[in-house]
Copies of this chain bind each other. A is one copy, B any other.
């Protein structure tokens, strides 16, 4: 079979991205989390009292779609909300959220290390550089 797609960088990028996401998703599911939920734990830890809108902007997730994600994190007792003013609230990690954050951090770090380890040494820096030049450009 001839595969004219395998020579296309954009196509390669998409397939690789999907398979890596599936791997991460599987590892995070052992913590009962989805990738978006895990990312949010990292961002809340790094930004005390961050709002859902700010989170969504950083993650490229629409405000409307943040609602059920945050609701799940709250239901799991991982995050709690504190009113900032009458219409917005900041989010922080509960004690359980902090413990989970540490585990998430380990999982993501090992996932990222795995990725780098699979790339030949002489390509690694160029790979990250290329991704950064494609980032939102």
Instruction: Please tell me how many copies of the chain the complex holds.
Output: 2
Contact, CB under 8 Å: A128 / B12 = yes
Which of B10, B20, B111, B119 is in CB contact (< 8 Å) with A20? B10
Given A43-B4, A43-B5, A126-B122, A60-B134 contact (CB < 8 Å): no
**A112 contacts across to B, CB distance below 8 A:** 8-11
Bound Cα distance from A36 to B50, whole angstroms: 37
Given A8-B108, A17-B14, A60-B18, A134-B120 contact (CB < 8 Å): no
**A50 contacts across to B, CB distance below 8 A:** 1
Q: Which residue of B lies closest to A115 (CB)?
A: B10
Contact, CB under 8 Å: B12 / A135 = yes
Which of B9, B108, B116, B118 is in CB contact (< 8 Å) with A137? B118
- Mind listing 11 A-B residue pairs with CB under 8 Å? A1-B50, A1-B58, A3-B43, A3-B58, A13-B13, A17-B17, A20-B134, A118-B133, A123-B126, A123-B133, A126-B127
